[in-house]
């Protein structure tokens, strides 16, 4: 029986928080994780989405073809040209939970946000929040600070076009050290226009527009030179699909529900993967292995459903089993569409059907070719006693035999005993794991996937990450390359990135790969220590401390003491996401850096080595 600790449980023990206090106390319930902006699903991007989603809903209802978005370091401004919030309800709509127009299914049939929370969360989690509605020659302004009204202006006449203007500044006390990454914002805006063909979004002075929806999306995500056949683009009522196959490994999907990018897929994506295999098998009258049909696929599916059910407030995974209260199951809806439209397309376009068949047969040959090697490699991985020798796992996974990915988990990939030792001693053993490389990895550019199983380091690494059968089994949210800040460290970084880009590009495209940013210098005197991440910061630190402070250049991670290192991989960890621009050609990129030694690359290396040498000489003079 539990021991009585004499704590009284009375009416006074029951507390009621108002809307803004609850959101600020439990932000994860409303926007998912917080983060600092280094990941695409961090909270600051969710705040942007919540406001833009409202503008998109207006566009979907036929009001407003343009949205203006301006985002600077710490401020977001968004203006739509829809109907405008009814002026008498402006404050209620951004500060009263369960208040909004989306409960009226007649006004918003297939909306993204149905719970009336979105802009309230933005309001409560912003140090400054402003909303202004323009409606039929009148306007109403309201301003807030952390959800508290600071300006409730009267309704006045105005000449502006109908619509709503929203501005906010995320609260720096909640989103610590946050910064917006342009690449993530660009992807976000592009997805909006791809899902709403004909909509124009003016973002920071640049025009974003799509005429052909998901066809344009796949054109942006692929390279014309590497796809195996022209993109198949199929459209129906409340469903749109685009499909092609590339030369990469793995499967790449972009799935959407009511304009919401479901990064974790869900019932619609699962139904599409199943329908694709079934249709292909029936068309070619051959029982292909499902993995051979889907290997190297790049596809997108968008559906619109009534009253969608998501598995979290951030709406990254669809849970709806049906397309509406009275509609068919999601599986039946997607399967019927794909079976009819894709089958018709392949019958009409025999050259595409032939190219698709060649790609499937190639995948089949490669799979059979590595089958024997794979079995031996898996046995070697078990004998290597992975969890004790190469991988120092985190307790979250040691105590969770399912090995499922957890939002906060990360793995550091490093080289050498001293570097791995420093990280191992400094890490949070609950959520941070360490994988130690032995020497420089193999340059796997232009090699087939056989090398992943033939090379012990690569084989053990893929098992540590649990990505042998695809990234759905990935055990860590963040894969962090932690190498020394010198030429050898940069080379190892490039070799690892080549491995991921060659065989597991989905890890990068889905935002799982990061570079650990550690200080290059420590500048200190008896009173203060400043860590500097660039030469510019070093110069400022020297000017601040004066009197010839002690300057240390960290060349290797092993030179940083575990006590110091703990600060660099703790709450204030600095990570740089590895991003691919829309115009990146993987084949050309890898060929330049990892192919034969071209004159251009020699020049690049010499120039960068000269910078390193000049810096060393300058440091020597300051000592």
Task: Give the full edge-to-edge strand order of the sheet including 476-481.
Answer: 391-392, 432-437, 406-415, 476-481, 513-516, 575-577
Taking only the tens place, the pLDDT of each residue in 24-82 is 888 888 888 888 888 888 899 999 999 998 898 888 888 889 999 999 989 999 999 99
**Tokens at residue 193, please?**
């226009």
Confidence class for position 1, pLDDT limits 50, 70, 90: very low
Q: Is the pLDDT confidence value at 131 over 80?
A: yes
Domain boundaries, given as residue ranges, for the chain: 19-209, 214-367, 384-518+556-584, 521-553
Q: Which fold has domain 19-209?
A: Heat Shock Protein 90 (3.30.565)
Tens digit of each residue's pLDDT (9 = 90 or more) over 83-114: 999 998 899 888 877 555 554 444 445 555 54
Q: Give the pLDDT of residue 310.
A: 73
**pLDDT tier, 419 (very low <50, low <70, confident <90, very high otherwise):** confident
Give the separation between CA 69 and CA 202, rounded to whole angstroms: 6
**How many CB atoms lie under 10 A from the CB of residue 402?**
8
Q: Name the CATH architecture for the domain at 214-367.
A: 2-Layer Sandwich (3.30)
pLDDT digits (tens, 9 = 90+) for 268-285: 999 999 999 999 999 999
DSSP state, residue 161: P
Q: What is the pLDDT of residues 353-392, one digit of tens each?
A: 999 999 999 999 988 888 777 777 777 666 655 545 678 8
pTM (predicted TM-score): 0.76
CATH of segment(s) 384-518+556-584: 3.40.50.670
Distances (CA, A) of 355 to 230, 446, 581: 9, 22, 27
8 A C-beta contact, residue 234 and residue 345:
yes
**CA separation for the pair 287, 290 (Å, rounded):** 9
pLDDT for 387 equals: 47
CA–CA gap between residue 251 and residue 31 (Å, rounded): 28
Mean pLDDT in residue range 179-201? 91
- DSSP secondary structure, 52-65, as one string: HHHHHHHHHTT--S
Question: Which pLDDT value is given to residue 601?
Answer: 64
pLDDT tens digits, one per residue of 231-246:
999 999 889 999 999 8
């Amino acid at each position: 029986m539990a021991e009585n600790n004499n704590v009284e449980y009375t009416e006074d023990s029951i507390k009621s928080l108002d809307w803004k206090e609850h959101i600020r106390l439990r932000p994860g319930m409303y926007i998912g994780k917080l983060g600092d902006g280094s990941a695409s699903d961090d909270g600051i991007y969710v705040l942007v989405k919540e406001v833009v989603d409202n503008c998109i809903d207006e566009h979907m209802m036929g009001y407003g073809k343009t949205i203006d978005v301006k985002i600077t370091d710490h401020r977001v401004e968004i203006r739509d040209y829809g109907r405008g919030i009814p002026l008498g309800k402006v404050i209620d709509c951004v500060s009263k939970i369960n208040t909004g127009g989306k409960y009226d299914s007649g006004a918003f049939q297939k909306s993204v946000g149905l719970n009336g929370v979105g802009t309230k969360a933005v309001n409560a989690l912003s140090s400054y929040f402003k909303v202004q509605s323009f409606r039929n020659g009148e306007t109403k302004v309201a301003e807030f600070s952390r959800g508290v009204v600071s300006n409730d202006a009267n309704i006045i006449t105005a000449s502006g076009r109908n619509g709503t203007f929203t501005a906010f500044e995320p609260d720096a006390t909640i989103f610590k050290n946050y910064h917006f990454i342009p690449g993530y914002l660009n992807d976000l805006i592009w997805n909006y226009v791809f899902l709403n063909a004909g909509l124009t979004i003016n973002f920071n002075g640049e025009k974003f527009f799509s005429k052909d929806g998901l066809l344009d999306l796949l054109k942006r995500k692929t390279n014309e030179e590497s796809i195996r056949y022209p993109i198949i683009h199929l459209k129906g009522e409340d469903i749109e699909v685009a499909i092609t196959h590339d030369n990469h490994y793995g499967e790449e999907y972009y799935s959407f529900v009511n304009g919401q990018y479901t990064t974790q897929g869900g019932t619609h994506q699962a139904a599409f993967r199943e329908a694709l295999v079934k249709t292909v098998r029936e068309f070619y009258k051959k029982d292909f292995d499902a993995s051979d049909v889907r290997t190297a696929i790049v596809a997108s599916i968008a559906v619109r459903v009534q009253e969608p059910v998501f598995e979290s407030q951030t709406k990254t995974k669809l849970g709806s089993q049906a397309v509406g209260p009275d509609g068919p199951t999601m599986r039946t809806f997607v399967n019927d569409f794909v079976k009819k439209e894709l089958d018709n397309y392949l019958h009409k376009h025999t050259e595409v059907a032939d190219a698709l068949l060649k790609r499937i047969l190639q995948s089949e040959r490669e799979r059979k070719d590595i089958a024997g090697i794979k079995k031996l490699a898996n046995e070697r991985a078990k004998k290597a006693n992975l969890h004790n020798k190469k991988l120092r796992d985190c307790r979250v996974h040691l105590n969770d035999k399912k090995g499922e990915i957890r939002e906060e988990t990360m793995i550091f990939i490093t080289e050498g005993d001293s570097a791995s030792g420093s990280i191992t001693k400094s890490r949070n053993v609950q959520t941070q794991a360490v994988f130690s490389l032995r020497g420089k990895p193999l340059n796997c550019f232009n090699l087939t996937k056989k090398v992943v199983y033939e090379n012990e380091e690569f084989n053990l690494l893929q098992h540590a990450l649990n990505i042998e059968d695809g990234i759905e089994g990935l055990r860590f949210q963040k894969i962090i390359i932690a190498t020394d800040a010198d030429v050898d460290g940069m080379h190892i970084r490039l070799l690892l990135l080549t491995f991921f880009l060659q065989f597991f590009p989905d890890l990068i495209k889905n935002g799982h790969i990061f570079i650990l940013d550690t200080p290059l210098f420590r500048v200190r005197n008896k009173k203060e220590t400043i860590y500097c991440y660039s030469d510019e910061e070093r110069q400022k630190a020297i000017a601040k401390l004066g009197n010839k402070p002690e300057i240390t250049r960290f060349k290797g991670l092993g030179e940083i003491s575990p006590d110091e290192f703990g600060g660099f991989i703790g709450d204030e960890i600095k990570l740089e996401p590895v991003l691919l621009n829309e115009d990146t050609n993987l084949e050309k990129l890898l060929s330049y850096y990892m192919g034969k030694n071209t004159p251009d690359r020699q020049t690049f290396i010499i120039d960068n080595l000269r910078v390193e040498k000049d810096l060393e000489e300058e440091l020597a003079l300051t000592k």
